[in-house]
Amino acid sequence: MKKFLTCLFLVLSLVQHAQASELSDRLKTKDHVLLMRHAYAPGVGDPTGYSLARCETQRVLNDEGQQQATRIGQWLKAQGVDQAAVYTSIWCRCQETAELLRFGKVTVEPALASFFDEPHKASASRQQLQDFIAKALPAKGARALILVTHHVNIQEFMGQNIGSGDMVLVRVNAQGQLLGAQLYPSP
């Protein structure tokens, strides 16, 4: 029985490693990107009169969200993602999430900004995101491309709403258009 359990453990470890390698291997290619919704920030939308220049006026991560973002970064590293180009929305909850992933420099990218307050901008936002992805993928080298954004952006891009901290491995064409997607729930 002990021998059986040892073999089972080894097989499960190999399967987990193979899955880990698959995610990290795909993120090294020029046709995959990881879209991520910011970690948990209680509430919906932002308070009336918020300012993008002042985090204290926005909906921000609480302790649970900060721990979640840290866990996601650790999980990604355990999956074999060791280098990443990380871009984020200007909103503080996205920036903090991106920083807590601990992949180094984080860059604010306008194409990742929320249009929650201006839903008529959905189509234009999707096009901006596609254009950014098309430009960023060839320039990233072997690093993963991780984009931290909002549920409205992800829903407009792929037609599915996802939870806080959830990630979507997206395969795109050279124009940044969606070809396929795989959801990874927040660890």
> What is residue 3's predicted lDDT score, i.e. its pLDDT?
56
Sheet harboring 106-108: ordered strands across?
106-108, 84-88, 144-149, 32-37, 167-172, 178-184
Task: Give the Cα separation of 73 and 81 in Å (integer).
Answer: 9
**DSSP letter string, 35-78:** EEE----SSSS--TT-BTTBGGGS----HHHHHHHHHHHHHHHH
Average predicted confidence (pLDDT) for the chain: 91
Say if domain 2-184 classifies as CATH 3.40.50.1240: yes
Task: Give the Cα separation of 44 and 57 in Å (integer).
Answer: 14
> What is residue 12's predicted lDDT score, i.e. its pLDDT?
37
High-pLDDT (> 70) share of the chain, %? 89
pLDDT of residue 139 exceeding 90: yes
> What is residue 16's predicted lDDT score, i.e. its pLDDT?
45
High-pLDDT (> 90) share of the chain, %? 88
> What is residue 44's predicted lDDT score, i.e. its pLDDT?
93
> What is residue 21's predicted lDDT score, i.e. its pLDDT?
76
- 0.85 surpassed by pTM: yes
pLDDT of residue 66 exceeding 80: yes
Domain chopping of the chain, boundaries:
2-184
pLDDT of residue 7 exceeding 90: no
What length does the chain have? Answer: 187
Cα separation values, 51 from 13, 48, 54, 119, Å:
47, 9, 5, 19
Whether 92 contacts 58, CB under 8 Å: yes
> What is residue 22's predicted lDDT score, i.e. its pLDDT?
92
Based on the number of CB atoms within 10 Å of its own CB, is 76 exposed (0-12), middle (13-18) or buried (19 or more)?
buried
Position with higher pLDDT, 11 vs 163 = 163
Q: Of the ranges 2-11, 44-53, 72-81, 123-132, which one carries the lowest mean pLDDT score? A: 2-11
pLDDT tens, position by position, 75-118: 999 999 999 999 999 999 999 999 999 999 999 999 999 999 99
Position with higher pLDDT, 9 vs 70 = 70
